Amino acid sequence: MAKPGFFSPLLLLLLFAIFRATLSTNSPDIVSDQTALLAFKSHISHDPHNLLATNWSSSASVCNLIGVTCGSRHHRVTALNLSSMDLTGTIPSQLGDLSFLASLDIRHNSFHGSLPTELTSLHRLKYLNFGNNSFSGEIPSWFGYFTTLQSLYLYDNNFTGVIPSTFGNLSKLETLSMHNNNLQGKISSVIGNLTSAVEINLTYNNFKGHLPSWTFDNLSKLQLLHLRENRISGTIPSSISKCKELWFLSLNKNSLEGSIPIEIGNLTMLEYLDLGYNNLNGQIPSSICNLSSLLGLSLFNNNLDGAIPECIGSSASSLVYLELGENNFHGKIPDTFAQVCTLLSFQISNNQIEGSLPRSLVNCKDLKLLDVGNNYLNDTFPAWLGNLEQLQVLILRWNRFHGQVGSPEVTVSFTRLRAVDISHNNFSGYLPVKFLKNLHAIREGYEKKDKQEYMEDVLAFGTWNYAFRLSFTTKGLETEFEKLLTIWTAIDFSNNQFCGEIPKTLGDLHSLIVLNLSHNCLIGPIPSSLGDLSELESLDLSSNQLQGRIPTEFTNLGFLEVVNLSHNDLKGPIPKGKQFDTFTNDSYIGNLGLCGLPLSKSCGNDEGTRTPARLDKDGDDDDDDGINWKFSILMGYGCGLVLGLSMGYIVFATGKPWWFIRIYERVRQRCAKR
Ligand SMILES: *[C@@H]1O[C@H](CO)[C@@H](O)[C@H](O)[C@H]1NC(C)=O
Ligand SMILES: *[C@@H]1O[C@H](CO)[C@@H](O)[C@H](O)[C@H]1NC(C)=O
Ligand SMILES: *[C@@H]1O[C@H](CO)[C@@H](O)[C@H](O)[C@H]1NC(C)=O
Ligand SMILES: *[C@@H]1O[C@H](CO)[C@@H](O)[C@H](O)[C@H]1NC(C)=O
Ligand SMILES: *[C@@H]1O[C@H](CO)[C@@H](O)[C@H](O)[C@H]1NC(C)=O
Ligand SMILES: *[C@@H]1O[C@H](CO)[C@@H](O)[C@H](O)[C@H]1NC(C)=O
Ligand SMILES: *[C@@H]1O[C@H](CO)[C@@H](O)[C@H](O)[C@H]1NC(C)=O
Ligand SMILES: *[C@@H]1O[C@H](CO)[C@@H](O)[C@H](O)[C@H]1NC(C)=O
Ligand SMILES: *[C@@H]1O[C@H](CO)[C@@H](O)[C@H](O)[C@H]1NC(C)=O
Ligand SMILES: *[C@@H]1O[C@H](CO)[C@@H](O)[C@H](O)[C@H]1NC(C)=O
Ligand SMILES: *[C@@H]1O[C@H](CO)[C@@H](O)[C@H](O)[C@H]1NC(C)=O
Ligand SMILES: *[C@@H]1O[C@H](CO)[C@@H](O)[C@H](O)[C@H]1NC(C)=O
């Protein structure tokens, strides 16, 4: 039996009042939130995982919907997070009715179209992430109404046009991320007014104009500034030193000129300074020595000259990347690499550096890449580098190194080396058997072929973007590599004075892809063991005094694309079958004793399976593949033909050609001398 007192009319009235109150304050608004979300759902045209289709039903409670967060006090939708759901759709105007929304995250989907003006009602918005979608059109000027906005991510879309001036109203904005769009306009009108900015990322756009001194006047909180790959010109203003908190600065691939301001030394928090691929000139300011936290420094591809400051080496106690290549630096590399040297990569190619390779580099135990190519270094072979167990890429090309490639100082040395280029020096003596035997990485093939890993992944550290290119001769072409696959292996000993026979053990380097021993004084037969180099794509033994026959084992080299055996004393028939049917005369000229196709000299009984008509046409009726082979050969061989051709492993630089021209000139000079 119920207790009548308990259900007294007064109490019922009270309960009813409470119920009504709840209804009137919350229900209509949560209902409008629900309407807005269902409108949003109806604009989703593709939901492959059926996430919203099943979960966002009209009967479910709004705050329980996937991706929805409600405020604990008002029970209104405060956050919507639909990131990485593979959704395709557009943004409906009703989304503007989520009037309590503070955070909207729809990154990593395929939303497209333009943004409805009604979104301006979202005046509580602090976090907005539309990154990695397919939005296009101009960025609406009403973004300037989001005066409470702290984080705005519009990166990886297809926004075009200028950033509206109303962005100057975003005085609370801490993060502005718009990289990878097609935005343009003056850079100064974008960043100067964002007085709360901590991080600005405008990488990969088309911003132009210069950085006026006042740009940095009020950016005292700025920590990261990414302006890489735009078209910013003029000088780097000294006022940049007002950004006292700055620890990341990338101006890579712009058109900046003038000298590096000495005030840069005031940015004592700086860890990454990337000024590569600009037109900066003058010397490196010595104030750079005050940047004791510096981890990465790139001045690659500028017009800087003068000497390398002594401190560069000693501050290498913190430096991880040092990229000084393609400038006009001269003098010596300071022999001041700190006892505890943390360098992973040291790149100083294409300068006018003299003297010897600093012995203190041996302190840099983690060094993976050393490129000192195209300088005037005068030294003997740095066998002591064999102590650097991590070394993978060693480039000494185009210098004045001389003497024998001596025995390494330690028994296990150069074991991880997979790309070594000591070409165009004055090395002499026999080919270094012991050195070659030690190249375990090339022999065993540490790297898995199916693993698409690039050198930049190997060198990855923090937020640094590997920003230089390497240059190798492969398949007869001087080739610039902006990315280098870790499975890529190369030995280039060409244009030295290596004499004697080619050691048989070379055939043990099973993962070798590029072998160039051309322009030496090698004698004797080509060892048939070279037929074991099953990964080989490019073989150049030209301009030596090699004798005997071309080993028939060479037909096993299934990946061989380019072969050059010209200008030797080879004789006998040219092997037939597979790749060997695609090589042309150029591969063999200058060997009086060779016979058989593609040469016009027949070998007598061996030959004759093909008609002379075919011979005359010289492969004019080649299929597509044949034409391709031929194209690379024609482009590649012969002095002075220094051309780039995309070939699987390479990604070309589209930048300035002057360096290229310089190489070209050097090659031409060499050729002229011959
Ligand atoms: C929707 O998803 C949320 C979060 O995964 C879950 O808690 C809720 O029960 C789901 N609702 C329905 C109706 O499936
Ligand atoms: C949205 O969800 C993803 C995945 O759970 C998470 O990584 C991200 O931080 C969330 N976004 C916001 C703004 O909290
Ligand atoms: C962009 O989003 C897609 C999914 O829509 C994802 O596969 C891809 O990794 C994302 N890209 C980046 C750079 O995060
Ligand atoms: C970006 O927009 C331009 C011009 O509107 C268009 O030509 C281009 O195809 C778009 N790119 C992508 C990736 O959507
Ligand atoms: C935003 O900035 C513009 C000038 O660019 C100004 O006219 C407008 O009043 C500002 N709006 C708000 C809401 O502050
Ligand atoms: C941006 O700053 C400049 C210089 O102080 C000022 O003239 C301009 O009005 C500001 N723009 C906005 C939109 O606040
Ligand atoms: C800045 O943009 C670059 C280039 O797209 C990107 O790799 C990097 O992750 C971005 N950094 C941040 C912090 O958004
Ligand atoms: C920097 O801030 C000061 C004080 O608020 C202001 O007077 C000046 O115009 C601002 N400068 C710029 C370039 O916005
Ligand atoms: C900034 O650097 C210059 C030159 O190195 C120096 O004279 C000046 O005192 C520094 N300013 C501050 C505020 O540290
Ligand atoms: C390094 O910083 C100190 C202290 O701020 C300063 O006195 C000195 O001039 C700076 N050195 C250079 C080369 O700028
Ligand atoms: C290399 O240095 C040695 C000794 O310093 C000198 O005799 C020689 O001429 C130099 N060689 C070249 C090519 O500069
Ligand atoms: C190269 O070395 C040989 C001796 O091995 C020497 O005769 C010759 O002058 C050197 N050439 C250059 C350019 O240093």
pLDDT, one tens digit per residue, over 177-230 is: 999 999 999 998 888 889 999 999 999 999 999 999 999 999 999 999 999 999
170: confidence class by pLDDT, cuts 50, 70, 90: very high
| pLDDT at position 254 | 97
DSSP 198: S
**292 C-beta closer than 6 A to ligand 10:** no
| pLDDT at position 626 | 27
Query: From the CA of 501, how far away is ligand 12's center (Å)?
Result: 20
448: confidence class by pLDDT, cuts 50, 70, 90: low
Task: Lowest mean pLDDT of 37-46, 186-195, 601-610, name the range.
Answer: 601-610
Task: State the SS3 of 415-459.
Answer: CCCCEEECCCCEEEEECCHHHHHCCHHHHHHCCCCCCCCEHHHHC
Q: What is the pLDDT of residues 490-500, one digit of tens each?
A: 999 999 999 99
The kind and range of the H/E element at 117 are none
The total number of residues written for the chain in this structure: 674
- With a Cβ cut-off of 6 Å, ligand 5 is lined by 144-145, 147, 165-166, 168-169
Query: From the CA of 64, how far away is ligand 1's center (Å)?
Result: 6
Pocket test for ligand 3, best of 107, 132, 154 (most atoms within 8 A of CB): 132
Helices of type H across 425-555: 433-437, 440, 455-458
Q: What is the pLDDT of residues 83-119, one digit of tens each?
A: 999 999 999 999 999 999 999 999 999 999 989 999 9
Query: From the CA of 503, how far away is ligand 8's center (Å)?
Result: 72
Please say whether the dihedral angle defined by the alpha carbons of residues 310, 472, 530 and 540, taken in this order, is positive or negative: negative
Distance CA 459, CA 466 (A): 8
Q: Does pLDDT of 276 surpass 70?
A: yes
| pLDDT at position 409 | 55
Q: What are phi and psi of 537, to 5 degrees?
A: -115, -25
Domain range 457-609, CATH architecture = Alpha-Beta Horseshoe (3.80)
Atom number of ligand 3 nearest to Cα 110:
5
Query: From the CA of 135, how far away is ligand 4's center (Å)?
Result: 10
Over residues 636-662, the mean pLDDT reads 28
**226 C-beta closer than 6 A to ligand 7:** yes
**285 C-beta closer than 6 A to ligand 9:** no
| pLDDT at position 65 | 94
Q: Structure tokens of 667?
A: 């090659």
**255 C-beta closer than 6 A to ligand 2:** no
For residue 4, cis peptide bond before it (omega within 30 degrees of 0): no
**How many Cα atoms occupy the beta-carbon half-sphere of 120 within 13 Å?**
9
Over residues 305-330, the mean pLDDT reads 87
The kind and range of the H/E element at 663 are helix 658-673
Q: Structure tokens of 599?
A: 């040469």
Distance CA 434, CA 408 (A): 8
The per-residue DSSP string of 580-641 comes to GGT--GGGTTT-TEEESTTSSS--GGG--SS-HHHHHHTTTT--HHHHHHHHHHHHHSSTT-
More confidently predicted of 338 and 447: 338
Q: What is the pLDDT of residues 565-582, one digit of tens each?
A: 999 999 999 998 878 888
Percentage, residues of the chain above pLDDT 70 = 81
Distance CA 459, CA 439 (A): 20
The kind and range of the H/E element at 570 are strand 569-573
Ligand nearest to the CA of 215: 8
Residue ranges covered by each domain of the chain: 457-609, 629-656
| pLDDT at position 567 | 96
Q: Which residues of 193-212 are buried (b: 16+ CB within 10 A; e: fewer)?
A: bbbbbbbbbbbbbebbbbbb
447: confidence class by pLDDT, cuts 50, 70, 90: low
Amino acid identity, residue 213? S
463: confidence class by pLDDT, cuts 50, 70, 90: low
Please say whether the dihedral angle defined by the alpha carbons of residues 498, 504, 509 and 513, taken in this order, is positive or negative: positive
Query: From the CA of 266, how far away is ligand 9's center (Å)?
Result: 6
Q: Does pLDDT of 446 surpass 70?
A: no
| pLDDT at position 466 | 66
Nearest to 178 by CA among 169, 194, 487: 194
Pocket test for ligand 7, best of 153, 154, 201 (most atoms within 8 A of CB): 201
- Rounded to a whole number of angstroms, the CA Rg of the chain reads 33
**136 C-beta closer than 6 A to ligand 4:** yes
Atom number of ligand 2 nearest to Cα 103:
13
Task: Lowest mean pLDDT of 17-31, 194-208, 357-371, 392-406, name the range.
Answer: 17-31
| pLDDT at position 605 | 62
Query: From the CA of 330, how far away is ligand 3's center (Å)?
Result: 45
- Rounded to a whole number, what is the largest CA-CA distance in the chain? 124
**175 C-beta closer than 6 A to ligand 7:** no
Q: Structure tokens of 230?
A: 């735009």
Query: From the CA of 402, how far away is ligand 11's center (Å)?
Result: 9
Q: What is the pLDDT of residues 18-30, one digit of tens each?
A: 444 444 344 457 8
Q: What is the pLDDT of residues 56-74, one digit of tens each?
A: 988 888 999 999 999 988 8
Atom number of ligand 9 nearest to Cα 290:
5
Q: Hey, is 53 helix, strand or coil?
A: helix
What's the Cα-to-Cα distance from 35 to each of 23, 56, 76, 570, rounded to whole Å?
17, 11, 13, 84
Ligand nearest to the CA of 168: 6
CA angle 124, 130, 135 (to 5 degrees): 125
Mean pLDDT over all residues of the chain?
A: 83
| pLDDT at position 601 | 84
Query: From the CA of 182, how far away is ligand 7's center (Å)?
Result: 15
Q: What is the pLDDT of residues 615-629, one digit of tens each?
A: 333 333 333 222 222
More confidently predicted of 77 and 470: 77
- Chain-centre distance of CA 90, in angstroms? 33
